Amino acid sequence: MLDQTLPPPLLHVHGVTLQYKTREHLVTATYRVDFIVHCSDRFVLLGPSGCGKSTLLKAVGGYMTPTEGEIRLKGARITRPGPDRMMVFQEFDQLLPWKTVRQNVVFALETSGKLRGRAAHERAMHYIHKVHLERFVDAYPHTLSGGMKQRVAIARGMAMEPDILLMDEPFAALDALTRQHMQDELLGLWEDTKFTVLFVTHSIAEAVKIGNRILLLSPHPGQVKAELNSVPVDAADASSSVLTALVPPIAKPESS
């Protein structure tokens, strides 16, 4: 039951079970998962590979329908994808290769009907500047590094000014130094705009660094094991205690 003293949640995932079919099996990805996300949360879904965290993100995006339960954004049930939720994936090929950095961001604005013409170009440049790519506005994706491509994807998502930005392990394919730099940039961007993000990762260190709230999911099928709130970004002692709390459930192998 929701606390009536708090403002209504932006996102409410209530009792969500997600299933999908393979050629031979019906797979239960998550089982009766509950959580809420408030405006400006950096909410992290943390768990081992195969626990259903990316599947949950797809359901929030409107690409999957829960077998049980429901997902509501601003009180309205999610039944399909929409521009109020933008996805950033871990793959580098999520950009249109025949369009420049600026054109990739403008394309999302124009095809969604959000903005057109000069207004779309001005909004695109505003967010390209925020991710420090103004020198590369006319560059094509094949000329960019992996980190730069992810910055473009983040700028494209944020230019849509969605209610919530959905990020599916966006830095997982980057090398360690670039990953750390991108995490710092994301936090700097959040400090500037206070956007709401739902972030998926299997890295405990990344979850502690990125999230102000962390939901821990069990191994397959994903169920809520714990929720940690108000994790300070730069508090080493807090990070250490959180790591101690999280490691045992994640490290425990699932019996087959």
Give the residue extent of every domain in the chain. Answer: 95-161
Q: Print the SS3 string covering the chain.
A: CCCCCCCCCCEEEEEEEEEEECCCCEEEEEEEEEEEECCCCEEEEECCCCCCHHHHHHHHHCCCCCCEEEEEECCEECCCCCCCEEEECCCHHHCCCCCCHHHHHHHHHHHCCCCCHHHHHHHHHHHHHHCCCHHHCCCCHHHCCHHHHHHHHHHHHHHCCCCEEEEECCCCCCCHHHHHHHHHHHHHHHHHHCCCEEEEECCHHHHHHHCCEEEEECCCCECEEEEEECCCCCCHHHHHHHHHHHHHHHHCCCCC
Q: Tell me what the mean pLDDT of segment 5-17 comes to.
A: 90
pLDDT tens profile 82-133: 999 999 988 878 999 999 999 999 999 999 999 999 999 999 999 999 999 9
Q: Tell me what the mean pLDDT of segment 58-70 comes to.
A: 96
Q: Tell me what the mean pLDDT of segment 203-227 comes to.
A: 93
pLDDT value, residue 220: 84
Residues 200 and 167: their CA atoms lie apart, in Å, by 6
pLDDT value, residue 4: 60
Residue 3, pLDDT > 80, answer: no
Residue 235, pLDDT > 80, answer: no
Residue 247, pLDDT > 80, answer: no
Percent with pLDDT over 90 in the chain: 74
- Bigger pLDDT: 96 or 250? 96
Query: Range with the lowest mean pLDDT among 47-51, 151-155, 230-234?
Result: 230-234
